[in-house]
Structure 1
Amino acid sequence: MTSLLRERVKGEHARVGFVELFFDLVFVFAITQVSHNLLAHLTPLGALQAAMMLAAVWWAWIYTSWVTNWLDPERGPVQVALFVLMAVGLVMSAALPHAFEAQGLAFALAFVGIQVGRTAFMLWAVRDTVSLRRNFLRILIWLLASAVLWIAGGLAEPSQRLWFWLAALAVEYASPALYFFVPGLGRSHTDDWTIEGGHMAERVGLFIIICLGETLLISGATFAGLDWSSGAVWAAFVSAVLSTVAMWRLFFSQAHESASHAIMHAADPGRMARKAYTYSPILVIAGIMVVAVSDELALAHPDGHVSTAAALTLLGGPILFLLGTVVAGWTIWGRIAWGRLVCCAVLAAGWLVVPWTTPLILSVASTAVLMAVGVWENLKARAT
């Protein structure tokens, strides 16, 4: 049988296939579902549940991206596998809003189907490649262990579901850090994770664009139903658009291209990709999602009272985003973007003036901070 693995040409960038982009469309729906659920449940419990759902969605997507980094998406069996994953992903996404209610088992079964099914397919696809076969056998064992917790949570009472699923996520997120160690099978080695850095960077970048696009969709949909004669509404809308543009600029700066180059030429690209593109983007994505919620709150009530929940989203979203980019930069170059950390501190200090502000003022202020750090970094880059 013809190999399903990509044919790698040294020095050439493995392009992202159209079927991979098609697959990503499912996750536009998933991210929107998580964002809307957070907006509807702006409580500590609602925030925790939204964080868990986002973590699950991200994990399903990033594991698939690792797989398509190895597999050739132009091969028929690979495309069929991705189409099946898309169908199951739609079920998972549809169940998200009620995952902690009546549709818990549906969500759990769909998520487990994606994780276990994709890994089983990969195990078959690389059966002639010893190192990858052993690697994915270990991964499959870990995912089967977490599957028990996911399904047990789906079967449990809603009040108990949280604890089962927290444990399941802990197993899934710990496994790469533990190199998928399995007694009798040993552990995986990052030098076996032969990835193409440019492809991985592009895939993660495309997911970030999905999240930024979801932010714009929420802002546009909310703005469409409001009173356009209100200057405050227009100001909140402009602030929402500019904050999204600022986040795009901060993420897709020259550093993003440099990160791709660094991974491509790293002595151990698997280790670097695990840190830079498996774990750290979750903070960036969480920040974008929270900003989307804050934009909708500011648009709906620009001159209203700033509730505690609204203040946390208006200030916390940009903080999460900036912290995520700082962590990503540190994992690749070992350098800390102090300017971005200073902006996080400035945003945190905004909590002191919350009682005397409005959602619009906080929105404009947080947008100004995001734009300011971008301008400062551009000026700094030109001066060096």
Structure 2
Amino acid sequence: MTLLRSMRARARDEPHRVATALELFFDLFFVVAVSFAVSQLAHALSAGHLGEALVGYLTTFFAIWWAWMNFTWFASAYDTDDWVYRVMTLVQMSGVLVLAAGVPRAFEHHDYRVFWFGYLIMRFAMAFQWLRAAASDPAHRGVARRYALGICLAMVYWLVLFVVPEPLAVPAFALGVVVELCVPLWAERGRPTTWHPHHIAERYGLFTIIMMGENVLGATVSVRGALSDEGAKPSLIVLAVGALVIVFSLWWIYFEPETPEILTSNRAAIPWGYGHYVIFASIGAVGAAIEVVVAFVTGESALTRSQAGLAMAVPVAVYLVAVWVLHIRPHGYGRADSAAFLIAAVLVLLAPLAPSAVPLIAVIVAALVVVTTLIRRAAWPAR
């Protein structure tokens, strides 16, 4: 590691550009925040608090995902890996832990103070990184300054959440999301940053794996607890196996096509990057849903059979549609893949009509297995 170096833009076509050890370490800190959000979602759903669960999860997860995404795209263009860069990344990582500590209070008491402070730490560290890039890279100085200014203005706006009446909190948050999403669109006008397509695709793939790993961990803990209390009931065994197949199928569907070839410009990459909020959030919701279904089978849930089924079916169906829009459709494999995804999504949404949790899991598993098989056949000739 060099003690200090000029933060110049890296080449977009740099060979052998891969995720660094620091980036992998950075991602691990987000596991904590994601785990807290998913756990709170599972508890709120099992208690029958649907509105609170959705609002709390979607808002907290946006902050987690947005902070991760901004660092990822910045690092793709400006990873100097000197001591200043590492220290500022450490500051962002500490902000993740503070944010994670505030997730339960945000969910249960609508108290966003700790959560906001953690987000503040991460975003101001990000603004400092952009100002440093502006000082070192004259060619992209305008872009870097716009990013820094946009981040600071967005952080000032978030103070609104502490003064608006509670009935207006959700619309105020939605407006803040629009402000945040507009910052890259405004900053990248003119001469864009030199993000690396293969590096971005790898980073998103790694975060997808982290999200799915969280599913495996949550499902394992939930099933283990149920087995210790209820014994090796056939329904619990089927649920455990079905959950494993579901997570594996979600992984297969995401990683079957090659991603970098569709990231050709900001016009293609920004919607792709933004759309991953839906993919990541739905993966996390699947993990929470597994816990919800296990709680229903063991009689520890306030949900009805159909409600527990929808808790599982809706995020899986949303995931299928989102992956089709962002990953499959741009490759133009043909009509078969589109039909497979839409039919599978419909079958998954119909699964809650099954008479028990076991057929529910079986229908979802069958639909996902069919989709993975068709994707494999569609993608193979293009290789």
TM-score, length of structure 2 as denominator length: 0.87
- Determine whether 1:22 maps to 2:29: no
| Distance across 1 between alignment mates of 2:91 and 2:379 | 46
Does structure 1 residue 114 correspond to structure 2 residue 122?
A: yes
Gaps of 5+ in 1: 182-186
Contact residue 294 and residue 314 of structure 1 kept, 8 A: yes
Query: Are 1:76 and 2:83 counterparts?
Result: yes
Alignment-mate amino acid for residue 34 of structure 1: A
- Answering whether residue 348 of structure 2 is matched by residue 347 of structure 1, we say yes
Match of 1:95 among 87, 92, 102: 102
User: Contact (CA 8 Å) 1:272, 1:331: kept in 2 or not?
Assistant: no
Residue aligned with 1:68, SS: helix
Return the offset for 1:292: 0.9
Partner SS for 2:195: coil
3-state secondary structure, aligned to 1:167: helix
Q: Which has the higher contact order (CA 8 A, sep 6+)?
A: 2
Given that 2:313 and 2:364 are in contact with CA atoms closer than 8 Å, whether structure 1 keeps it comes out as yes
SS at match of 2:194: coil
From 111, 131, 145, the equivalent of 2:153 is 145
Aligned partner of 1:282 in structure 2 is: 277
Are residues 131 and 221 of structure 1, via their aligned partners in 2, closer, same or farther at CA, if it must alter by over 3 Å?
same
Corresponding residue of 1:205 = 205
Deviation, 1:158, is 5.1
Q: Tell me the distance in 2 between the aligned counterparts of 1:152 and 1:95.
A: 18
Corresponding letter in the other structure for 1:280:
G
Q: 2:58, 2:99 → 1: CA distance?
A: 16
Distance 1:331 1:91 in 2: 39
The AA in structure 2 aligned to 1:287 is: S
- What is the aligned partner in structure 2 of residue 35 from structure 1? 38
1:273-352 matched pairs, under 5 angstroms: 273-276=269-272, 278-302=273-297, 306-329=304-327, 332-333=330-331, 337-338=337-338, 339-351=340-352
3-state SS of paired residue (1:295): helix
In the TM superposition, residue 141 of structure 1 has moved relative to its aligned partner by: 2.6
1:180: which partner in 2? 186
% same residue: 21
CA displacement at 1:326 relative to structure 2 = 1.3
1:248 alignment counterpart: 251
Q: RMSD of aligned C-alpha atoms?
A: 2.5
Q: Structure 1 residue 333: deviation in Å?
A: 4.1
Partner of 1:129: 137
**Counterpart secondary structure, 2:16:** coil
Amino acid at match of 1:49: G
Partner Cα separation in structure 1 for residue 73 and residue 124 of structure 2: 14
- Report how far residue 272 of structure 1 moved: 2.3
Name 1:196's counterpart in structure 2: 196
Distance in 2 separating the partners of 1:71 and 1:138: 16
Which TM-score applies when normalising by structure 1? 0.87
Q: Deviations over 1:296-341 (max 9, x none)?
A: 1222333867445322222101111111111213684477741212
Instruction: Find the aligned partners of 2:357 and 2:350 in 1 and give their Cα distance.
Output: 16
Distance 1:343 1:28 in 2: 29
**CA 1:329–1:102: 2 relative to 1, 3 Å:** closer
Q: How many pairs does the alignment contain?
A: 365
